[in-house]
Chain A
Amino acid sequence: MTTQNAQAEQFDMTRPLPIVQPWSEAFWAGAREGKLLLQHCKECSATIFYPRKFCPECWSADIEWRQASGKATVYTFSTAYDMVEPRFWADLPYTIAYVDLAEGPRMMTRIVDCAPEDIKIGMEVEVVFHKLDDKFYLPFFRPAAK
């Protein structure tokens, strides 16, 4: 048995999928179409991320989805080289970041299409969707086109 096979038997090596709530289905449907969707409260005009059942600002149920620009700025990041879950080993090294969307909310993502040493706080990035399976496309970000 190879070392890799032994690891695969000991650990869950399958890719984790998002645990979805009913009110966030639309977000993932949008991601499948290459759209980054954010909730907008029609009652108090709050822009909401992550998606909620009711507006967290005013508890209104009158919420609609709006497509975001896909533009963002890196708030902070950390590039992983070791000690991640075995199911992510194949991705190493990879960079996790918080990005501030042009519309306001902050989200966790990965920075891709960029050498780790070139990633900077304040860097302008744009969304690019990464396919996990037929249902889920994760919103990653890459350096914004000039």
Chain B
Amino acid sequence: MGANKIAIIGIGEVPTRTMPERSRWDIIYDTCMEAVRDSGLSKNDIGAVISTSPQAQPQLTAELAFGKLPEELGLENCRDTCVVNAGGAGTSNCLRLAEQYIASGVADAVLVHHVTVHSTIPIPDLIAFFAKAGVDLQWEYPFGSTYNIIMGLMANRYMHETGCTPLQMASVVTALRSWASRDPHSIFYGKAVPSPEKVLESSLLNTPLHKRESNILADGGCAMVVVSTERAKKMGKPAAYKLGESVRYFSATPMMRDMEKMVYGLRDTAKEAIAQAGITSADVDIWNVYLAYPLAHPIMAEALEIAPFGQGGQYFLEGRMSFGGDIPWSTIGDAPGRGHTGSGVSAAVYVETARQLMGRAGERQVPDCAYVYQNTSGGSGFNNIATIWGRDPK
């Protein structure tokens, strides 16, 4: 696995909202400039720019891939730029590439960013994109499958095997929204947190998924400045140090996914990343889980061995993963709490990991936060990348 010799030293983010009045480049300017200023570096210290590929926005993807950002922001000493696409796992790969740039001498400081504006994409185009992304066009799509249905298939099987109830499942939304309601960057900031009963009152989209268990597409963007561990230590400012990483590939086509293999993969990647960081599971202060749908969270809680088998849903129902609970979990509320910005949710989770380790998470700040587990996953769940980040270097 990677040497993990990088640290995030600056972050920038715009609130996740529906904001068709803001162009994508408007958001790029604000997030990137905020991250560079936050890092304490100047624009000409940035040696490379890596963009998390914006999904369903081909014009922007082409502009970024063909090098427009360093020119637009006047990054005079930028040596290279590119776009990385692994869906929701894209930002993890941006950070890996940043590490390689730094290790190989391409750059001392790398700007990693993401932007998505869903609200100006024509509805038919959005529907067409998300209907086909992450499913097989020969063996799945013609039957009428959707992302929601794929999650429903997984959830129904999990509930069958464990006895997890609809109320327990619905309580995941309550937990995620309890964090989101306290996050100024969330689309649900300041909004009432629905009870599990209220979640179940919303209309059924497909069994067992209710409307409030689904996602709201939104607009947003964020950026991070990454440097070497050594440089971050010398700078002496609050930072998030990458300490461990592990990954497993499952399958691109949802029907080919072996659920047992997936659960073992979630478990083993966490164990390996934690071991690489030189800590134990008990040292982890936040489980910053990114899964896009609430229905997968009980599975993850069990795979991470936080909840016993079959008890993941009950842990959420008891409020243990909610704001104020004893297991800080997905402190931006994952995509259901933050608003879904395509591949941008995982970027936002990284920014939150850094924010918590820098001690700047406001009302959501987990006291004395020293270690954060964070995962990302791409497509409809083709892989899982587990990472451990620390307040201090090893």
Residues of A within 8 A of B (CB): 10-12, 15-21, 24, 50, 75-86, 88, 91, 94, 96-98, 106-110, 116, 121, 132, 136, 138
* Known contacts A76-B160, A107-B139, A132-B142; is-contact A82 B149 (Cβ 8 Å): no
Contact of B214 among A17, A75, A83, A91 (CB under 8 A): A83
- Closest B residue to A120 using CB positions: B160
Q: When the two chains form their complex, are residues A96 and B149 in contact, meaning their CB atoms are under 8 A apart? A: yes
Q: When the two chains form their complex, are residues A16 and B141 in contact, meaning their CB atoms are under 8 A apart? A: yes
Q: When the two chains form their complex, are residues B139 and A84 in contact, meaning their CB atoms are under 8 A apart? A: no
Q: When the two chains form their complex, are residues B144 and A78 in contact, meaning their CB atoms are under 8 A apart? A: no
Question: A21 vs B139: C-alpha distance in the bound complex, in angstroms?
Answer: 11
* Known contacts A76-B157, A121-B156; is-contact A108 B255 (Cβ 8 Å): yes
Contact of A76 among B131, B136, B154, B204 (CB under 8 A): B154
Q: When the two chains form their complex, are residues A18 and B142 in contact, meaning their CB atoms are under 8 A apart? A: yes
**Nearest CB of chain A from residue B144's CB, rounded to whole Å:** 4
**Nearest CB of chain A from residue B74's CB, rounded to whole Å:** 42
Q: When the two chains form their complex, are residues A86 and B127 in contact, meaning their CB atoms are under 8 A apart? A: yes
Q: When the two chains form their complex, are residues A78 and B152 in contact, meaning their CB atoms are under 8 A apart? A: yes
Contact of B156 among A15, A17, A76 (CB under 8 A): A76
Question: A124 vs B46: C-alpha distance in the bound complex, in angstroms?
Answer: 61
* Chain B 147-169 interface residues, beta-carbon cutoff 8 Å to A: 148-149, 152-157, 160
Q: How many A-B residue pairs have CB under 8 A?
A: 109
Q: When the two chains form their complex, are residues A138 and B255 in contact, meaning their CB atoms are under 8 A apart? A: no
Could you tell me the dominant secondary structure of chain B's interface residues?
Answer: helix
* Known contacts A19-B137, A78-B153, A108-B255; is-contact A84 B160 (Cβ 8 Å): no
Q: When the two chains form their complex, are residues B139 and A78 in contact, meaning their CB atoms are under 8 A apart? A: no
Q: When the two chains form their complex, are residues B142 and A17 in contact, meaning their CB atoms are under 8 A apart? A: yes
Q: When the two chains form their complex, are residues B144 and A110 in contact, meaning their CB atoms are under 8 A apart? A: yes
Q: B149 contacts which chain A residues (CB < 8 A)?
A: 78, 80, 84, 96
Q: B153 contacts which chain A residues (CB < 8 A)?
A: 76-78, 96-98
Question: A128 vs B73: C-alpha distance in the bound complex, in angstroms?
Answer: 59
Question: A132 vs B137: C-alpha distance in the bound complex, in angstroms?
Answer: 15
B61 within 8 A of A: no
Question: A96 vs B368: C-alpha distance in the bound complex, in angstroms?
Answer: 47
**Nearest CB of chain B from residue A141's CB, rounded to whole Å:** 11
* Chain B 43-101 interface residues, beta-carbon cutoff 8 Å to A: none
**Among A11, A24, A84, residue most surrounded by chain B Cβ atoms (within 10 Å):** A84
- Closest A residue to B137 using CB positions: A19
* Known contacts A10-B124, A18-B138, A108-B139; is-contact A94 B157 (Cβ 8 Å): no
Question: A15 vs B209: C-alpha distance in the bound complex, in angstroms?
Answer: 25
Q: When the two chains form their complex, are residues B131 and A85 in contact, meaning their CB atoms are under 8 A apart? A: yes
**Nearest CB of chain A from residue B294's CB, rounded to whole Å:** 15
Q: When the two chains form their complex, are residues B160 and A107 in contact, meaning their CB atoms are under 8 A apart? A: no
**Nearest CB of chain A from residue B271's CB, rounded to whole Å:** 27
Q: A83 contacts which chain B residues (CB < 8 A)?
A: 146, 148, 205-206, 214
Question: A91 vs B256: C-alpha distance in the bound complex, in angstroms?
Answer: 25
Q: A121 contacts which chain B residues (CB < 8 A)?
A: 156-157, 160
Question: A6 vs B136: C-alpha distance in the bound complex, in angstroms?
Answer: 29
* 27 residue pairs bridging A and B, Cβ less than 8 Å apart: A16-B137, A16-B142, A17-B142, A18-B138, A18-B142, A20-B138, A50-B136, A76-B153, A76-B156, A77-B207, A79-B206, A80-B144, A80-B205, A80-B206, A81-B204, A81-B206, A82-B211, A83-B206, A85-B144, A91-B144, A94-B144, A96-B153, A96-B206, A97-B153, A107-B255, A121-B157, A138-B143
**Among B154, B156, B203, B254, residue most surrounded by chain A Cβ atoms (within 10 Å):** B156
Shortest 7 CB-CB distances between A and B: which pairs? A78-B152, A76-B157, A80-B206, A19-B137, A88-B144, A18-B138, A108-B255
- Closest A residue to B124 using CB positions: A11
- Closest A residue to B148 using CB positions: A83
* Known contacts A12-B124, A80-B144, A86-B127; is-contact A75 B206 (Cβ 8 Å): no
